[in-house]
Structure 1
Amino acid sequence: MTKRALAIVLVIATSFVSFGCNKSTTDTLLPDQKTLLISFDGFRYDYLNKVDTPHFDSLVAGGVQSEGLIPVFPSKTFPNHYSIATGLYPENTGFIGNTMYDPKWDEWYRIRDREAVENGKWYGGEPIWNTLEKQGVRTGTMFWVGSEADIQDMYPTYWKPYDADMRLRARIDTVIKWMTMPAGKDVDFATLYYSYVDTKGHRYGIQSDSLKNAIRLSDELVGYLKMRMKEKGIWGKTNILIVSDHGMVNQAADKIISLDKIIKMNDVERVLWGPMTMIQPAEEKSEKVYQALKAAENNYKVYKKEELPERYHLKNHRRVEDIVMVADLGYTILDEDYKQQFLNSLPRATHGYDNKNKEMQALFLARGPAFKTGSTVAAFQNIHIYELINHLMGTTPAQNDGAIDSVRVLLN
């Protein structure tokens, strides 16, 4: 019996209880199905309407698309990619931002700090590649948040450290090589990741020709992927999920909140900047800082950590600072000393805002033997994708916040 078949038998024979989710079922699965998860970072839910996208359109016609993919809050890259991988909210993964401070360890995590990025201690929960590997399913990750780290002292069977300069088609070629190696070495689950749509959106804005060209390039890559998979005979037996982590909204020079005009900066120990700004007041200054922010509350909302809305699923982790500001859509919180520098190099668009805003929703579409064809479904939360992949692979999920019933509408 192959490892793949053994994993399916074990799943059928094993009961599973988790919080907020149901056991994946295997009644529609075929033993030789593969799954490919692809992320186009910063690809907003409505970007396919901006230009002609014949290859995306072909996938939609032969598969299923949602009206949006709802990110976790904050609507940032690392928290969302890792929540997709684990099915957990940020307060359960510990990923509460692209940059974060851990008071227990007195250490910082920054996305450009390779030592931190590759250190598994920062990553809570169990990512999908670990779940599958534990059950005998080989995996390969061509860039995904967490896949470079020794989470649970494990790695995927094949993985690559992130290299922004790796050629776009070469990423596809490498993944297809992994998926079509001789039996016993090939992978049944793989990931792909591209960042350039996000980069062009930030730099030039969501109405720019540069962004439209990035969307066209994404479409060309989808066409290339289809061609290569057909050449290798795996197109018809692969379930392909194309996702993004968040949407995007334009910024403006007149939508600035100067934090140091509201509070005295020597009353705070730390500020983690962004559309969601976290503030750690100096000792015994917490109430003073909060009351000043509350009195000036305009174009933002301010919360004490313990009063954060439950729907954020954020407050129950030590890495969240004592006071949290959430800017209104399109507004930027910054220090007055940095204002001119910010204006001189004004990013044209950004994200990180309240995930209830439609503008923060991302792309989701899927096609393959497990999925409906020619269907459109309502937007759903990205935490359910972990459960969905386990269903497709016939494996038992680890504890997570998602539910297969929330995405069963996608399936045949």
Structure 2
Amino acid sequence: MLSLDGFRADYLDKARTPNLDSIASVGVSGRLRPSFPTLTFPNHYSMVTGLYPNHHGLVANSFFDKKLGRYSIGDRQSVERGDFYHGEPIWATAGRQGIRSASFFWVGSEAAIGGKRPDYWMQYNSKISPLTRIDSVIHWLSMPQETAPGIILWYIEEPDYTGHTYSPDSRQAIEKVEQMDKVVGEMLARLRKLPNRDQIDFLIVSDHGMATYTPEQSINLAQWLDEKDFEYIVDGVPAILYPLPGKVDKVMKQLEQVPHVKVYRKADIPDRLHYGSNPRIGEIVLIPDIGTYIYFSTNPTFVTGGAHGYDNAHPEMLALFAAFGPDFPNAHRIEQPIPNITIYPLLCRLLGITPAPHDAKEQDVERILQP
């Protein structure tokens, strides 16, 4: 299973993607609805545990845990610390049932979660090219049966990085999508040469979409709030605030007039987002409108760019899904978006193993596998 980070579902309509289009004719295609918040780490981990972020513990890309301290995707120490991650990832489920696994940069695979890592894994290094990653995947697929992994997870940072920098509506983002399609084409060509090609299911997913935000609609919370009232602040989309004891009411009052933003006490977040009961979530969560970015800075530089993290009901947040292989029907288009927590029980079904407890529905797995 390959993840192309930030591959918005409708990029397929905006760019020339002959290789991804070819999968639709021989396999399954559709759109994934990411879990909230529509961020990279929570969603990659949701796909391999079948749990909402509220349940698996990666409640954002950055958050605060009263016992363990701060988690941030840029901090190697926290990323590699197993007790930040709850639930059972697919590599642990597979390993318990005698199936080896490999990961090239999947979220969580660098930490010993419940004491378990994939059998083959790599420490994250963004400088390793997509083609080098393909080499490793093909190597794993070519190993003798007694040592080969039964499941391989791999990850590429694009088109997310380019979408953030230039916005998803930019020429650069569309060019990067077309470049990623060529990477998929290279992988397909290499797959076709393998003697075991008819026994391989290949899934391509993404963690979330991307939306354009503008300076005119962006917010600097430093104009409304005093940093001294907080234990910890996560700005961006969504913004998650950890007020000091006794400060919640004051902060809620100060936020009443902030435009383009829905402000929630964590207990009042809408049920459909499945978010708000985890103790790692700050007491106040700000979910901005599409087009708005939230800063907390004494001197912010407002720019136009791309962001995600928004309410997962927005179509701009929908993500890529395509799959083919012996276990998938041909030319099967799934019209309604599939919750991305469905990926975990789907992988378990493909591997013939029993899943750990999860939040997904069996009928969503059936929607993918039944034409």
Instruction: Please indicate the TM-score interval, normalised by the length of the shorter structure.
Output: over 0.9
Question: Which whole-Å CA distance do the structure 2 matches of 1:122 and 1:51 have between them?
Answer: 38
CA contact (8 A) 1:39 1:194 kept: yes
Query: 2:59 matched to which residue of 1?
Result: 96
1:292 to 246, 254, 257: 254
Equivalent position of 1:302 in the other structure = 263
Distance in 2 of aligned mates of 1:279 and 1:112: 19
Aligned to 1:81: 44
Q: Deviations over 1:354-397 (max 9, x none)?
A: 11111111101111111111121121100011000001110000
Matched, 1:258 2:215: no
Which of 161, 180, 186 lines up with 1:199 in the alignment? 161
What CA RMSD, in Å, does the superposition of the two structures yield over aligned residues?
Answer: 1.3
Aligned with 1:369 (options 303, 314, 326): 326
Aligned AA (2:45): Y
Per the TM alignment, residue 53 of structure 1 is displaced from its structure 2 partner at its CA by 1.3
Q: For residues 6-45 of structure 1, what are the structure 2 equivalents within 5 Å? A: 37-45=1-9
Equivalent-residue separation in structure 1 for 2:326 and 2:274 (angstroms): 34
Deviations 1:88-147 (A, max 9, x none): 011111111111110123x11111111111111110000001100110011111110001
1:244-269 Cα offsets, whole Å, 9 max, x none, are: 00000111110122213223333333
Please tell me whether the aligned partners of residues 99 and 108 of structure 1 are also in contact (alpha carbons under 8 angstroms). yes
Alpha-carbon distance in 2 for matches of 1:213, 1:233: 33
1:398 is matched with: 356
> Which consecutive unaligned segments of at least 5 residues does structure 2 have?
none
SS of equivalent residue, structure 1 residue 369: coil
1:70 aligned onto 2:40 = no
Aligned residue for 1:116?
78
Distance 1:282 1:115 in 2: 26
Structure 2 equivalent of residue 411 of structure 1? 369
How many residues are treated as equivalent by the alignment? 369
Mapped partners of 2:361, 2:352: distance in 1: 15
AA paired with 2:357?
Q
**Unpaired segments ≥5 residues, structure 1:** 1-36
**How far does residue 44 in structure 1 lie from its aligned partner after superposition?**
0.1
The alpha carbon displacement at 1:297 in A equals 4.5
CA distance in 1, matches of 2:64, 2:204: 32
Please identify, of 112-121 and 209-218, the stretch whose mean Cα deviation from structure 2 is larger. Answer: 209-218
> Taking every aligned residue pair, what percent have the same amino acid on both sides?
38
State the structure with more CA Rg.
1
Amino acid of the structure 2 residue aligned with 1:358: P
C-alpha distance in 2 between matches for 1:134 and 1:273: 39
Local SS of the residue matching 1:153: coil
**Partner amino acid, structure 2, of 1:307:** D
Counterpart of 1:26 in structure 2 is: none
Check the 8 A contact 1:202/1:347 in 2, yes or no: no
Q: Which secondary structure does the structure 2 equivalent of 1:254 belong to?
A: helix
| Contact 2:57–2:280 (8 Å) recurs in 1 | yes
1:170 counterpart SS class: helix
Which 4+ stretches in 1 moved above 6 angstroms? none
Aligned residue number for residue 21 of structure 2: 57
AA at the equivalent of 1:57: D
Q: In the alignment, which residue of structure 2 is the partner of 1:348?
A: 305
User: Partners of 2:82 and 2:242 in 1: how far apart?
Assistant: 25
* CA positional deviation for 1:235: 2.5
